[in-house]
Amino acid sequence: MPRKRVDVRTPRPHGSGTLRVGLVGAGNLARWVHLPILQKMAGVEIRGVCSTSGARGLSYAKRFGAQYCCAEYDEILNDRDVDVVFVLTRNQHHAAQTLAALQAGKHVFVEKPMALTREECRTLEQAVRDTGRQVTVGFNRRFAPFYREQKARLQARSSPVVINCRVNSPGISGAYWMADPSTGGAILGEACHFVDLMHWLVEAEPVSVSAFSLPTGNVHPVGENNIVSSFRFSDGSIGNLTYCTVGSRTSGGERVEVFGEGVGVMTEDFTRLDVRAAARRTRSSWWADKGYAELVGSFMQSLRDGKAPPVTVHDGTRATIGCLDMLESARGSEPRPIVLQPDFERVG
């Protein structure tokens, strides 16, 4: 029987203001993104790494300086020295593991999607109110430099805009786990990024959505992972989202265009910004800064300062509800109203 916990190093003394992190889920996102960010961040200590793969958990704990690795999530939850839990498991586990961490008195960083159902959203919003703990969701695009500049170009506007998001994800098909509907599929699992992004860009609530998807059959095993949708926002803006898994990798990943008041601003794959107004301005970067480090750093600082997190539990709710209504519209071939109030009370 494998040991439930393996201590990798002796505890280190920590100063006041140090936030100690327990991490559950040791996949690629943990290895290549979150663990390196946390390891380099001042005032942060990685306490424990929880993984169902003992060898991987031990490897990551040693590599990134954690005190211990474990196979049971309860080990993280019962560790009184853990202040913040990072939930980086597969999508269908996010809500339950986030709820358990809140009830254990921990703050939570949960990768998107925060939840897969309306009831899970209600439960998590209530848990944040009841526990006084904070949740932030991994909507990193809010912190990506080119998306931030794109938003800055909208700040002085006085009229609605049109947003076009085109997302090409050919890797999410076939046997890939996110293609499985039980995980929420590609729409809840990845397209939620762009529901959140459109809201953040216009700073207005989505009020309705119309959507169509490819038929499900032999050619498209999960047709719902290929969808064209149009959102209307409370300020009159329109956001169009085309999400597909049947394209070619050579077509690029994501392109977001915003048009309004004589200006067009386009971002592409985190590496290109194109502004077209009276004069044209283009910027490019060889490195795709996706905003992960800035998001994590902002969340940690908000906890130290006792302020609302950069992405709230209600932001997680909005994205999930928007995706659910998008799917329901596609299934029924009719528009769907998006209702966040009074069913969902804003938190944070």
Range(s) within the chain of domains with CATH label 3.40.50.720 = 5-139
Q: What are the tokens at 35?
A: 């663990």
Indicate the pLDDT class of residue 129, thresholds 50, 70 and 90.
very high
Domain ranges in the chain with CATH number 3.30.360.10: 141-291+313-337
Residue 340: count of CB within 10 angstroms of its CB: 17
> Which CATH superfamily is 5-139 part of?
NAD(P)-binding Rossmann-like Domain (3.40.50.720)
The residue written with tokens 């080990």 in the block is: 75
**CATH superfamily, with its number, for domain 141-291+313-337:** Dihydrodipicolinate Reductase; domain 2 (3.30.360.10)
Q: Which amino acid is at 112?
A: K
Task: Say what the pTM is.
Answer: 0.92
Interior angle at CA 317, CA 288 and CA 72, nearest 5: 80
Q: Worst-scoring range by mean pLDDT, 36-45, 173-182, 197-206?
A: 173-182
Q: Whole-angstrom Cα distance, residue 325 to residue 208?
A: 8
In sequence order, which residues have a C-beta less than 8 Å from that of residue 303 and are 6 or more positions away? Answer: 19, 83, 84, 107, 134, 309
Mean pLDDT over residues 178-186, rounded? 80
The predicted structure's pLDDT at residue 219? 59
Instruction: Give the pLDDT score at 7.
Output: 87
The β-bridge relationship of strands 84-87 and 19-24 is parallel
Our CA angle for 49, 50, 54, nearest 5°, is 100
For residues 97-125, average pLDDT: 98
Angle at alpha carbon of residue 314, lines to 309 and 320, rounded to 5°: 125
Q: How far apart are CA 309 and CA 137, in angstroms?
A: 9
